Structure 1
């Protein structure tokens, strides 16, 4: 029996219009009624998912959420931190300089300042609009080297970002967890951070075994939790590399893929 279900949001839980289908809501509700802990596992900050947590009744005292691709795991209502693995201001300065060399835009999430960017751009606007948060213009000169930075993102048109990816120094992959969450978002996190680690830390907190975990995802930043779980489920619309390591491939996000797999493996 599965006791913990972790679900990615964009391309997985959410349809293309950013809504959750009634069938998926009902499947999640039924799983929770069976005593299964259902959590969202996202690259977004908690402020970007609160309305979905409330809509899915995941906002009680014991409900949890994985944010920033597992960099910050916390209780949804009290925001009590279960685990946190961050970058530093020194990392931000290094990646900012690299972004200038590569010719791509950048922004980051600071514990203190929220979403910060040296200049506003199209995809920082996308980030802010998705999450319902403010953009803070900051040239990073006042960010101290020991400042806590949850994640840094290079953001740009897909073809521009791809060129940057192709030219990233090898040392970047040695220093950071690097994930392409969308064609226009490249994310940099602490080397110890990925959704798999986040799920593992949450499972240990809850006393859930690895084989009792089910995860859903579609993109590169979901790969680690798909591999880690006893039942890793890839979406039909997912990246090929995610499908290749999944235990099961369900239907697409547009066709109730999450609901169908929960019905098959949890509610049967």
Structure 2
């Protein structure tokens, strides 16, 4: 029997209106009644997940959430940290210089400052609106080298972002975990982090083997999580790379694909 189902949010649990359908919500509640832990695993900050945690009744003792692509794993109630792996201001300076060379927009997340950017752009506004958080404009050059940074993102129109990705130096992949989460977001996180790393940290904390875990996602930042889980599931709208490594391909996020997984592998098991 599976004991954890880890769910990506955008393009997976959420439909294109950023809503969890009632059918899926009810199925997840039934899964929890069977003793299965439902864990949201997202690139979003915790603040951008709170409304969904509340909606799914997951803000309770011994419930957990993976945010910032697994850089932060914590309890949903009391927010006790299980695992935290981040970056520094020195990493931000490196990425900022690279972004200027490539002519691409950038923003980052700081645990004390929130969503920070040297210049507000369209996709920083998208990030802020999705998560219902504020934007703080600041000069990245003024940030101390040892300041804690959670993650960094290159953000731009898909064609501009893809051109920049093609020009990235190999060094960046050697130094960081670089994953594309949407056509307009490229995420740069600690080399030792990722959704798979975060999910493993949680599994170790709960003493649950990977074979008893389901992970569902659609994009590049879900790959390591899907590979780690005993049952890795790709959404019908997932990238081809995600589908290639998945054990099972479910319906699209607009077709209650998560509901299909819950019914097939948990409720009807």
By the TM > 0.5 criterion, same fold? yes
Q: 1:144-190 deviations in whole A, cap 9, x for unaligned?
A: 11111010001011111111000000000000000110111000000
Shift in Å at residue 206 of structure 1?
Answer: 1.0
Alignment of 1:123-202 (within 5 A): 123-202=123-202
**Other structure's SS at 2:31 match:** helix
Please provide the CA RMSD for this pair: 0.6
Alpha-carbon offset, residue 27 of structure 1:
1.1
Shift of 1:140: 1.4
Q: Secondary structure at the match of 2:204?
A: helix
Secondary structure, counterpart of 1:173 in structure 2: helix
**2:264 partner SS:** helix
In structure 2, what is the Cα distance between the partners aligned to 1:247 and 1:19? Answer: 26
Deviations 1:216-240 (A, max 9, x none): 0000000001111000011001000
So what's the TM-score if we normalise by structure 1?
A: 0.99
Cα distance between partner residues in 2 of 1:205 and 1:17: 34
Distance 1:136 1:147 in 2: 16
Alignment partners' CA distance in 2, 1:52 and 1:111: 21
* Length, aligned pairs only: 268
After TM superposition, which residue ranges in structure 1, 4 or more long, deviate above 2 angstroms? none
Give the Cα separation in 1 of the matches to 2:164 and 2:98: 10
Q: Distance in 1 between matches of 2:81 and 2:197?
A: 15
**TM-score w.r.t. structure 2 length?**
0.99
Structure 2 unaligned runs (5+)?
Answer: none
| TM-superposed deviation, 1:141 | 2.5
The C-alpha deviation readout for 1:97-117, integer Å capped at 9, x for no partner, is 000000000000011111100
SS at match of 1:141: helix
- Match of residue 103 from structure 2: 103
Structure 1: stretches of 5+ with no match in the other structure: none
Q: Are residue 250 (structure 1) and residue 250 (structure 2) matched? A: yes
Instruction: Please give the secondary structure, in 2, of the residue aligned with 1:266.
Output: helix
Give a deviation string over 1:102-136, Cα, whole Å, max 9, x none. 00000000111111000101000000000000000
Map residues 224-235 of structure 1 onto 2, 5 A cutoff.
224-235=224-235
Provide the residue aligned with 1:261 in structure 2: 261
For residues 59 and 253 of structure 2, the distance between their equivalents in structure 1, rounded to whole angstroms, comes to 23
